[in-house]
Amino acid sequence: MQGEIVARSYASALFELAESKGSAEAYGEALDQIGTLLDQEPAFAQFLETPRIDAREKKQVLRETFGGRIPDHVLNFLLLVLDKRRQRLLKVMAREYRNLVDQRMDRAHVDVTVARPADAATMEDMKARLSKALGKDVVPHVRVDPSLVGGIVVRSGDVVYDGSVRRRLQGLRRRLLAASVGGGR
């Protein structure tokens, strides 16, 4: 909990700087790249987090790795995070930063599960309908689950909208079982 509060503070500070520079999205993309690298390269994460490696050496590696590839302010942010020994929170900082950008852009990330892959036109239609229903610009994260049989399941935060054929069949089964038990007397 404490780590999330600290990460949110760092993300907020970078976000304020990014907004003043008109670069909120670019800074977010840079943080996403760093978060992806930390996820995909455990050795890199371990390198940053181990206290046995001198901070100057870590900073040099960051400058060589990211210099000219990400905005200078984001690189300076990374160096500051190292100075403050908060590198274990980098992924959380990136997530919190993305949340701030999404709030500012009035975006909502939703998980969408479908029974079969949908074509581009269907996806655009679905995105437009979800955006209208939620009152925000929706960014769908789609996955395919053939067990749905048909329909769609949408998860937005803690709310689940289940319009799947599987759910309807389960409901029908429950009603039939309840009717046969109650009707047999």
- Encode pLDDT of 40-82 as tens digits: 999 999 999 998 999 999 999 999 989 999 999 999 999 999 9
The pLDDT value given to residue 113: 92
CATH T-level assignment (fold) for domain 2-103? Peroxidase; domain 1 (1.10.520)
Question: Is the Cβ–Cβ distance between 31 and 94 less than 8 Å?
Answer: yes
Q: Tell me which residue has tokens 């942010």.
A: 77
Nearest to 98 by CA among 56, 36, 151: 36
The pLDDT value given to residue 151: 85
The pLDDT value given to residue 183: 56
The pLDDT value given to residue 144: 93
The pLDDT value given to residue 182: 59
pLDDT tens track for 108-133: 999 999 989 989 999 999 999 999 98
The pLDDT value given to residue 5: 92
Classified as helix, coil or strand, 37 is: helix
- Tell me how far apart the alpha carbons of residues 23 and 4 are, in angstroms, rounded to a whole number: 24
The pLDDT value given to residue 143: 93
> Residue ranges of the domains in the chain?
2-103, 106-183
Helices 72-83/2-21 angle, 10° precision? 150
Nearest to 112 by CA among 125, 93, 103, 95: 125
Question: Is the Cβ–Cβ distance between 105 and 139 less than 8 Å?
Answer: no
